[in-house]
Chains A and B, each alone.
Chain A
């Protein structure tokens, strides 16, 4: 990569940050340049973020209709999925899957609810809302 191939402008995604990348100058020497994010990396990151956002929005709609739990919405909103949430809480996946349903979520003990809230970095009250 040459220094002039590095985008200087920080992509919105990076919120003004620039990352260090290694480039070769015209004499063939390596130096560190600051990159505002190349097209490839910006595109794929946006897509990864959008994937979670889509799942979260879908879960939110269903949770409104009572077809699923707010937990599912928060899980996707906070970029987790069932295996990650299970690992983060230390619960079996099948239990997590059960707690994701509206019925299973309603039956959660305060202690378990606290455990989920903790793993997601939320308060118990936030976990119940669809905010």
Chain B
């Protein structure tokens, strides 16, 4: 059973940057570490039961359907708040001036603050990684003159961001508009004992993947996507077909997922859970999920080459891989459900 370190860090101690695969889980894990609660990113991801799959044809991004390998934005934050009874406080703002004032106030109290922002307007992002995605998460942990000290969990090192740029990124309009959302721990943190929560979290995730009665979500969502892939207009509109195929891969690999659309991240969680619960079966299933993740990566490689035109478009191949993945994932979650 993990225990908090015996010498609790003073709250004003220097903030330590930690790199993670995914922004939201990384932010909350870093904030917890700062409070002396060493909960890893993988543990955060698993505890909040955030692994998922969703293919929603009605919601379009640049003419392409929404495909996600995890639950909706803020699911992790809200899940952690509820599970661990954290005094995590969320604030949004009508006016950007108010949002700035509040952020400065909190930073001057020496608290690291979690922020939601657009990716596109953050100047420290490599130009070719900037797209209009508004639910990115990062931490501000101080300010100097007209610059904020930023710990963005998807990058190797902490960085800085000019006030005007951060303001723009926090107050963009559009889908998933952040409205200047910031969050921080308001008050002392309770003693965290997450081990008894693991079983419920794993069961919940199995339920989400297996039994949500919607064709778009979970393993049935993978099958729906597989059938859609087979029906893509390869002859009529080659460009669209190639973009569609590439889009699946982007959602799986490019958008910070830790590889294979969060499958590796969840497998890492299962491994941690196996130790904490002293359940060797979870270790086996973790390796099984890793193998499934490797198959997702193989799918991604095929799809990426077809996207670029480096390999001949072979939709039945992609369909077959997706169907196989759906079957394997179904079996895995059923076993996982029985193991806890």
Contacts and interface: CB of A to CB of B under 8 A. Distances in A.
Q: Do the two chains bind?
A: yes
Contacts of A45: 128-129, 250, 254
A15 interface: yes
Contact of A24 (B21, B290, B307): B290
Interface in B287-335: 287, 290, 293-294, 297, 300-301, 303-305, 307-308, 310
Contact of B260 (A1, A29, A89, A90): A1
A126 B50 CA distance: 42
Interface stretch (B97-105, B138-146, B167-175): B167-175
A17 interface: yes
Given A18-B156, A119-B173, A121-B121, A48 B250 contact: yes
A30 B271 contact: yes
A74 to B, nearest CB: 13
Contacts, number: 138
A130 interface: no
A45 B156 CA distance: 20
Main secondary structure of the interface of A (DSSP, over half): mixed
B258 A21 contact: yes
Contacts of B303: 40, 44
A4 interface: no
Bin chain B's interface residue count.
Answer: 35 or more
A41 interface: yes
B258 A48 contact: no
Nearest to B258: A22
Interface in A94-126: 119, 121
B62 interface: yes
Interface string B231-266: 000000000001100110110011010111000110
A36 to B, nearest CB: 11
Contact of A88 (B172, B260, B287, B297): B172
A13 B126 contact: yes
Given A51-B243, A87-B175, A40 B60 contact: no
Contacts of B253: 38, 40-41, 44
A123 to B, nearest CB: 13
Contacts of A24: 267, 287, 290
B167 to A, nearest CB: 11
A14 B24 CA distance: 20
Contact of B19 (A20, A22, A83): A20
B1 interface: no
Interface string B9-31: 00000000001110000000000
Contacts of A87: 173-175
Given A40-B300, A48-B250, A19 B174 contact: no
A12 B159 CA distance: 20
B42 to A, nearest CB: 7
A124 B297 CA distance: 45
A43 B258 contact: no
B308 A43 contact: yes
Interface in B135-193: 154-156, 168, 172-175
* List of 6 A-B pairs having minimum Cβ-Cβ separation, nearest first: A22-B264, A87-B174, A30-B268, A15-B126, A40-B304, A41-B253
Interface of A: 1, 13-15, 17-24, 28-30, 32, 34-35, 38-41, 43-49, 51, 78-81, 83-84, 87-90, 119, 121
